[in-house]
Structure 1
Amino acid sequence: MSTYQRQSRGFSLVELMISLAIGLIVVSAVLAFTLSSLTANSEYVQSTRLSQELRNSMDFISRELRRAGYDENMNRYTAASTLNALVISPFARIFVDDDADGDGTANDGCVIYAYDRTGGTSGTVERARGEIRALRLAFREVDGQTVGVLEIGESASGLTPTCAGGAPTYTNYPATCNTASGWCALSDPRVINITNFSLDTSGYIVQAGTATSTPMTIREIGIGLDGQLRQSADGTVTRGISSRVRVRADCLEASANCALAPTGT
């Protein structure tokens, strides 16, 4: 009888405390691993979303700049030279400013360009058809914070977008376009803070004109785009991408003229 009692007496208090301590250590390790996995997964999702947002913007910018200078009446330039009254396309000029606010830092670029759109008068820049376009980075007040926003400008009747044109209204969503300046929001400032939009024109190849040759500028524009996901927990999810765009339409003018903003009727 005494032997049975000794075998069924259960755990002592010391044994129970040791077991509880070991269990707490194991549970803590499991919880720490689980939280770490959730954090890593959340950061991965946020990073992927930010990268996708930046890539979408970069794809749009690249398509626009590749199309810059397109002229539906391009055949009139096929045999053009200084010897037979050179004809210059009104779409050829591209204005680039990699420091639009003049603060000495090339992180808020602005580019103004033009391309012929279907319909209308071929070979003529028609502002009413939105054929002069522009892209820029501007820092705006959104929900009480300064946020970098990519903006797109489009010409209208009697209106040509300029780098210093008035801002859209960001007190509502979608942001209201500024009809007086032609500027609208391109990126969503509620989701992403664009911290850098740089434009590098060092890839231009300039051929000066002579008595027997046409001046020409072959253009390749480097683009840098950095951003920060505003909805991340600590606001530190930051990514950057870069690209180089070969403008398909060469400029058959003196290089100084090629760098001017296009004008239209």
Structure 2
Amino acid sequence: MLNRRRCQRRQRGLSIVELMVGVTVGLLVVAASALLVSGQLTENRRLMLEIQVQQDLRASADIIVRDLRRAGIWNDAQSIGVWSTENPTPGCNLYATVVPDGSSIVYHYYRSGAMNSPLGIKLENGVLKTAIQGPSTPSAGTCEQSTTPSSWQELTDSRTLKITRLNFELVDDGSDPEPLPCPKLCPSGGTECWPLLKVRLLQVDIEGEAVSDASVKRSISTRVKLRNDFVEYVPPSSTQMCPA
């Protein structure tokens, strides 16, 4: 009988102290696991935001660079003769103007028919915008070109990406041009009246942040050489490119 009572005492459940200790340890393990999972989810969300911001900036930069490379393209350049040793009095290139102005740039290139208005990129209220319409390009015979597009459309999505900085800078503005040879020398017997070839190189800087998390910031910088180099008459007001 005595052994049976001792056996019953040994088979009793946990004491309240032991139960509380066990519950506390369990809660600590659960809290640590929840904290770990929460940290992983936060890092994953931040990583996805960083990737999205970087991809959006890269896509925008690619579009801008691809379009800027076309600046100055003119479908009638060969027939009219923007520059030719056989044609000393060519017409002006109506698409040569490229005007960078800090957070905006305006440029031209021939597209089709009458759709030859000035194009451009600008930053407005945290959104990159591209010009799609403006005053028509002047007819042949005048070198004046409009630099005021009138219609713009969004290039980036303001719901996911905020552009904080956009900068265009001519790192090489053609300040050291090369003379293009003409069939004849200048009246003075020199080459000072020969046209000048200016090679232009643009630096494009874009910075942006995620709309949902301003701490997620990215930037991208790229350089683009304008493929259609600028030919300048000497003097600039003249339409006589080479001595007659």
Q: What residue is the counterpart of 2:195 in the other structure? A: 214
Q: 1:153 aligns with which of 128, 131, 134?
A: 131
RMSD: 2.7
The range that moved more, 183-192 or 63-72, is 183-192
Q: What residue is the counterpart of 1:88 in the other structure? A: 92
Moved over 4 A (4+): 76-79, 156-161, 254-257
Larger Rg: 2
User: How far, CA to CA, are the matches of 1:150 and 1:135 in structure 2?
Assistant: 7
Q: What residue is the counterpart of 1:5 in the other structure? A: 8
Consecutive unaligned residues of structure 2, counting only runs of 5 or more, are 138-145, 180-190, 237-244
Within a 5 Å distance, the mapping from 1:1-265 to structure 2 comes to 1-76=4-79, 77=81, 80=84, 84-85=88-89, 87-98=91-102, 109-118=103-112, 120=113, 128-139=114-125, 148-156=126-134, 160=146, 162=148, 181-205=150-174, 206-207=176-177, 209=179, 210-211=191-192, 213-232=194-213, 235-253=214-232
Q: What residue is the counterpart of 2:142 in the other structure? A: none
Consecutive unaligned residues of structure 1, counting only runs of 5 or more, are 99-108, 121-127, 140-147, 166-180, 258-265
User: How far, CA to CA, are the matches of 1:117 and 1:33 in structure 2?
Assistant: 56
Aligned residues: 212
**Contact 1:88/1:253, CA 8 A, preserved across alignment:** no
User: How far does residue 204 in structure 1 lie from its aligned partner after superposition?
Assistant: 3.1
User: How far, CA to CA, are the matches of 1:16 and 1:71 in structure 2?
Assistant: 86
Per-residue CA deviations over 1:124-153 (Å, capped at 9, x if unaligned) read xxxx414421111122xxxxxxxx121122
Alpha-carbon distance change, 242 to 52 in structure 1, aligned in 2, over 3 angstroms: same
- TM-score, L = length of structure 1: 0.71
Q: Percent identity?
A: 28
User: How far, CA to CA, are the matches of 1:33 and 1:117 in structure 2?
Assistant: 56
User: How far, CA to CA, are the matches of 2:234 and 2:131 in structure 1?
Assistant: 25
- TM-score, L = length of structure 2: 0.77
